Structure 1
């Protein structure tokens, strides 16, 4: 029987995930974000314009509405741009790190042994730029899943294969014990 210990851990000697150099998304991914945002804003703008012309009540000055819409659009693009610059990921020996967010910065660290499934997603816009989204699903439910967008397809395939190989290795080690 193993002797029970419960020693205090010196927090200063723990490895610091903040020191890990993260890989940023491919700069071409910004084009994908711009295209997707533009499509959404055009659809919303078209819907608002249709609604504006269908309403028979007293209408506000359309220049004010247009100025508000353009200001909202500029704010949306600025927030997405700043958020884009904060994204990053790193594949380490025992885990994968993903950091994102502008106002609420989130850093997710998933141990390799918690990964259940790895998928590669290429959206229509991303595919035209040779980019993909790496989806990593864990046993911990929705909160543990991460989607790392803006990775070159070939690099995403390499990461996926590396994760799958590590999962197979861990599964084989567990089966032997």
Structure 2
């Protein structure tokens, strides 16, 4: 009969994901963000203008409403830029790392042996800039567990092939 042991692990000697050099998203991804979110804000801005013009209760507050909307747009793009700059990824021998966040930084580490499916997605604007998004699905989920946007399409295809190869080795 084998003796059961449950030794304590010295966590200070474990490999640190924080020391991994992460790859930033493609610079064209910022352009994609500006266009896609700019279009949404344009539609919202048109609604604000129509509201100020046609809603009598707002006519006395035109300047205030437009100023608040302008401030909202500036803050929105400021935080979008921070989010863009914080996103980065790395593919190691046994796992994929993705960092994101605005105020708090979130880091996801997904071992390849948990990956069930990989998808490549190109939106209309992303395709114009030659970008794609890699979606990684793990067991038990309906939606992707990890989405890495803003990757050059050729590199995204290489990443998909890498991950598909890792999945095949597990079978």
- Give TM class, smaller chain: over 0.9
Larger displacement relative to structure 2 (133-142 or 90-99): 133-142
C-alpha displacement of 1:143: 8.7
Identify unmatched segments of 5+ residues in structure 2. none
In structure 2, the residue matched to 1:169 is: 169
Tell me: CA distance 1:116–1:83, structure 2 relative to 1, closer, same or farther (3 Å): same
1:175 counterpart residue number = none
Query: How far is the alpha carbon of 1:54 from its aligned partner?
Result: 2.9
Partner of 1:11: 11
Answering whether residue 37 of structure 2 is matched by residue 37 of structure 1, we say yes
The one-character-per-residue Cα deviations of 1:38-85 (angstroms, maximum 9, x if unpaired) are: 101011111222233332336333122111111110111111111111
For structure 1, the residue ranges without an aligned partner over 5 or more in a row are 172-177
Distance 1:44 1:75 in 2: 15
Counterparts of 1:161 and 1:50, CA distance in 2? 49
Query: How has the CA–CA distance of structure 1 residues 142 and 78 changed in structure 2, closer, same or farther, with 3 Å as cutoff?
Result: farther
- TM-score normalised according to structure 2 size: 0.93
| TM, length-normalised to structure 1 | 0.90
**SS of the counterpart of 1:60?**
helix
